[in-house]
Structure 1
Amino acid sequence: MVDRWVAPKVGRVKGYTLRELAYGELRAALLSGRFAPGEAITVRELAEMMQLGFMPVREGVQQLASQGALEFLPNRSVRVPVYRLEEVRKIYEARILIECYAVEQAAKHITPEQVAALNEGLQEMFTRAADTEARDKLKANYDFHFQIYEACGSSYIVEMIERLWLRIGPLHISVFNSAPADRDDFLSVQPQHVELVNALRVHDAAHAKEIMLSLLEKSLAWYERHAADLLAA
């Protein structure tokens, strides 16, 4: 069972419906590793945890289910899908195609202000205390990467990337549940991230794309080696 969390103040937040609020909270929970692959929970339990009504939470769940991030079970509960290794490889195949293109385009259009924000994001990602909660580290990672993707100038590309992240996001928590040596192996990517920001800063699209490809290939290789227990047979 996931830990209890509290959504923002219930009611109509300016510009948002309760369904949108529920969707946003559930989306953030998936991306930050609050749900593990295969974990099941009822919509009513989710509504109680989020302090929102049953219907807006169900609608938020339905929206995420339509995106493949959740699936309904016969007993009226929902769960995070458990993927086979081959499915994970296909997700990464799509990520490589879309995210490398997004990085390439971002390098052409990124502004000095956006580069400065990325440098701040690097500090957030790699200077956190060792005991910082995993979901906070995952959020910092998400924020950093999506600052780059948004710099590509296409909301359609960003939306496609986010859908892929929603499918793979729950696997990310496995990094922090792995043996220290395995975790350190996955997280030893600070130099590549610094190099990526530098390539973006000088608008070197080819080099930025090359670094992004390397990061994604390393991530997939880690899951192939260490996350077999989270994947379906």
Structure 2
Amino acid sequence: MSRLQLEEVRKSFINGDTEEEVLKGVNLTLREGEVTALIGASGSGKSTLLTIAAGLQRLSEGRVIFGDQNLPDLSSEQVRKIRAQHFGFVFQNSHLVPFLTVEEQLSMMMDIADMKGIKQYKQTKIKEILDQVGMSHRLTAYPSSLSGGEKQRVAVARAIIHEPEILFADEPTASLDSTRSRHTMELIQQLTKSFDMTTLTVTHDEEMLDYVDCIVKMSDGKIVNA
């Protein structure tokens, strides 16, 4: 089933006296339970497309349909609430808050997603997610004591603690060695299936394509195969 639909998406930037069109009428459908990878050369429009799909920047023309809503038609506050409650994000760097423990990182995300609940519920939920990513033994650890792979696993746990419908992952393995990269993509693949999420990832690493269901190649602001 379709989870997110992009229709004739265009994005232009003003560069001095000229207008540069970065996305040129992109159409893409993302489905439940699938990992879709955006690939292509630098400057092909991959990350721009991901950020527009995620409501992180406005498009110039087109539609981004989530459920029965077109994101460009909504206010900034309405889009923010959708991101907080229905989307999850993993980036190249983990972006963990340095003064929060692993448990506190996830608790903060639950609050942002308005999943405050009672303390016991939050603790149980956090323990369950950390078990799934193999990090429950690091519950009280601070980011400074974690390895690169451990930080990224915590980042993945934080991204899915509120059970989002869609996970956006922008170069999630770029800062990791090959072994940790494979472990991270295996984890994202497994969680996508077990939570029936929709995952859109950008990657330059062809080895990571073994863990995706759909490969979408971009060139010069267009999809050249899907």
TM-score w.r.t. structure 1 length? 0.28
Higher helix share: 1
Q: TM-score, normalised by structure 2?
A: 0.29
Which has the bigger relative contact order, CA under 8 A and spacing at least 6?
Answer: 2
Structure number having the greater strand percentage: 2
